[in-house]
Amino acid sequence: MARDLRGFIQELEQKGQLRRIKALVDPDLEIAEISNRMLQAGGPGLLFENVKGSSFPVAINLMGTEERVCWAMNRSSPEDLETLGKKLGMLQQPKPPKKISQAVEFGKILFDVVKAKPGRDFFPPCHQVVVQENDLDLNTLPLIRPYPGDAGKIITLGLVITKDCETGIPNVGVYRLQLQSKTTMTVHWLSVRGGARHLRKAVERGQKLEIAIALGVDPLIILAAATPIPVDLSEWLFAGLYGGSGVNLAKCKTLDLEVPADSEFVLEGTITPGEMLPDGPFGDHMGYYGGVEDSPLIRFHCMTHRKDPIYLTTFSGRPPKEEAMMAIALNRIYTPILRQQVSEIVDFFLPMEALSYKAAIISIKKAYPGQARRAALAFWSALPQFTYTKFVIVVDETINIRDPRQVVWAISSKVDPVRDVFILPNTPFDSLDFASEKIGLGGRMGIDATTKIPPETEHEWGATLESDGDVAAMVDRRWAEYGLGDLDLKDVDPNLFGYDM
C-alpha cells in the first residue's frame, strides 16, 4: 500500500476536508460532542492536537461523508465502487468465459489478485518505539468516552487480529474494546465472528489466544476488514484488491501474528480461556445504550508505536455517524454481487436513517406477477449482512430509489396493504433491536410497491402521466432562450417541499 493514515490525513488537508484543533479538549465526552456536531452537518475531519491526559493527537470523523469514504478507497465517486463490486462478484462465483473479451477481463482480475498479495516489512514504522511489561500503561492512550451513560473508555477503530490455532489462518475484524485497567481490556464480538471462533478453538485445546490490536491504519484497510462479503479471501487480500497493491505486514514483537507495518500503534496480548469481565453498557448504532455482557479479557504485555503517533477513533450512535457513511459507500460494492445472486434486481439502497441495514429499497424490471415478493425473499437470503434487514420495499426500475419522495409516492400510489404487504414472523434477529418482542427473534415485512399486472389486479392500471416528447425536446433546446439558463433544476432543496432537513 502506497499510503498510510498520515497520507490520508494529508490528502484530506490538501482537499480542504480537515480541521486541526489546537485548543485543549477532553477525550471524556467533549471530543465526541464536537465530532457529532460535525457529522450532523457533513463537516470536515478533525485532528485534535492538544488532548487532556495524553501526549498523542486524536483523529476523528475522517470518513464522515460518503465522498471521503470513496477517497479512502482510492475512488473518486460512489459509482466507481460498483466496478470493484463486479470484480469481487466474479471472484465469488466465477463463470467460464464465453468470449475472448470475457476471458481477458477475468485474466485481469486474477492479475489484480496477484498484485494484492501482502508484502513484508522487516523494519516497520510501527516498531519505532517499544513499551513492554511494567512500563505499559494503556491510560497514556487518548481513549474516548462518547456518551455519559457509557461504562468507560473504548477503542473503536482498531483492527483486532487473531489466528486459527488449527489452520493458522488469521482473522481481521473491527470490534469494540473497553478499558478495564492499565494493562487489560475486554473485547465485544458476536459469537459468529472470526475472533470468537478462534477463541473457542483455543479453549478446546486449553491454550491462550494471541491477539493484536492495530490502531491508526490506513482507513482503506479498516473498510476491507469491515466488509462482510462472502468471498473466501483474507482481509489482507481484500485490502490489496481495494487499494490496487498489497498491504505491507510486519511480525509482532512478542506474538506470532502480523499487523500492518504502518500502524500508528500496536497492542499485543493474550486471552486466557475463561477469563471474562462485564463489558458495557455503551451507546450503539441503534441509537440506544446496549446491555452489559461478560466478555473475554485481554491481558496486554507490549505496545509498539511510531514516533509521534496519531490515535484514530470514532463512535457509534444514531445516524449520521462514520459507520453509516461507510455502509452507504459499501452498498455500492454489494450491488453487483447482489445482482449476481438475484438477477432481476436492478438496484438497491439501504438508507442511512434506517441504520444502513434495517430497511432496503429494491428496484426490479418487472416481468411477471409475484416477482416483487420473490425478489424480497431472495434478498433476505442473498448475503449474510441482509439477515437482519427488517423491511424490504420493492419498486419499479423507473423509481429513483435514492429519492425518498419517489419511494413514498410509489408506496402511496401502488400499494394495497391487504394484497401487497406480507410479514414473516419469528425469524432470527438482531439482539440489539429492542423493537422486537423477544430479543433475538423478530418479524420481517415485505412491501410490493411495483405496478401491478394480472392476475395481481383485476382492473387496468392507469397510464402514467408523461410530458409530450416533442415539446419536452423543444423546451430543452430553448431553455436559455427563455432566460432560464442560469437556473440549476437538478439540485433541489427538499425543504421547499415541506421537509425539515
Question: Residue type at 125?
Answer: P
pLDDT band at 111; cut points 50, 70, 90: low
Mean pLDDT of 470-477: 94
Mean pLDDT, rounded, of the chain: 89
Phi, psi of 500 (to 5 degrees): -125, 85
pLDDT of residue 500: 79
Contact assessment for residue 453 and residue 369, using Cβ atoms and an 8 Å cutoff: yes
Residue count (the chain): 501
Question: Residue type at 217?
Answer: V
Q: Which residues of 56-93 are buried (b: 16+ CB within 10 A; e: fewer)?
A: bbbbbbbbbbbbbbbbbbbbeebeebbebbbbbbbbee
Q: Which residues of 405-421 are buried (b: 16+ CB within 10 A; e: fewer)?
A: eebeebbeebbeeeebe
Q: What angle (nearest 5°) sits at the alpha carbon of residue 252, between those of residues 247 and 256?
A: 100
pLDDT of residue 491: 73
Q: Can you say how many angstroms the Cα of residue 246 is from the centroid of all Cα atoms in its chain?
A: 21
Within 24-125, residue ranges assigned H as helices are: 30-41, 66-72, 78-92, 100-115
Dist. CA 421–CA 446, nearest whole Å: 6
Dist. CA 112–CA 118, nearest whole Å: 12
What is the C-alpha end-to-end distance of the chain, expressed in Å?
39
Which residues belong to the active site? 284
Mean pLDDT of 186-199: 88
Dist. CA 405–CA 402, nearest whole Å: 9
Greater pLDDT, 64 or 231: 64
Tell me: pLDDT of 402 over 60.
yes
| pLDDT tens column, 271-330 | 999 999 999 999 998 889 988 999 999 999 999 999 999 999 999 999 999 999 998 888
pLDDT of residue 273: 92
pLDDT of residue 1: 42
User: What is the reported pTM?
Assistant: 0.87
Within 10 angstroms of residue 210's Cβ, the number of other Cβ atoms is: 20
| pLDDT tens column, 237-273 | 888 888 888 899 999 999 999 999 999 999 999 999 9
Dist. CA 7–CA 4, nearest whole Å: 5
Question: How do beta strands 391-396 and 359-364 pair?
Answer: parallel
Query: Would you state the cell numbers that stand for residue 340, as one nine-digit string?
Result: 449476481
Contact assessment for residue 194 and residue 301, using Cβ atoms and an 8 Å cutoff: no
Question: Which DSSP category does 140 fall into?
Answer: G
Within 10 angstroms of residue 327's Cβ, the number of other Cβ atoms is: 22
pLDDT of residue 473: 94
Dist. CA 191–CA 180, nearest whole Å: 21
Q: What angle (nearest 5°) sits at the alpha carbon of residue 424, between those of residues 344 and 334?
A: 40
Contact assessment for residue 222 and residue 243, using Cβ atoms and an 8 Å cutoff: no
**Helical (H) or strand (E) element with 386:** none
| pLDDT tens column, 166-176 | 888 899 999 99
**Helical (H) or strand (E) element with 204:** helix 194-205
pLDDT band at 458; cut points 50, 70, 90: confident
Dist. CA 294–CA 498, nearest whole Å: 47
Within 10 angstroms of residue 186's Cβ, the number of other Cβ atoms is: 24
Of residues 134, 174, 155, the one with CA closest to residue 279: 155
Dist. CA 399–CA 388, nearest whole Å: 25
Dist. CA 66–CA 223, nearest whole Å: 13
Dist. CA 468–CA 396, nearest whole Å: 22
Q: Can you say how many angstroms the Cα of residue 310 is from the centroid of all Cα atoms in its chain?
A: 22
Q: Can you say how many angstroms the Cα of residue 320 is from the centroid of all Cα atoms in its chain?
A: 13
Contact assessment for residue 452 and residue 414, using Cβ atoms and an 8 Å cutoff: yes
Instruction: Give residue for cell 479498516.
Output: 222
Contact assessment for residue 39 and residue 64, using Cβ atoms and an 8 Å cutoff: yes
pLDDT of residue 224: 87
Mean pLDDT of 185-205: 90
Contact assessment for residue 146 and residue 33, using Cβ atoms and an 8 Å cutoff: no
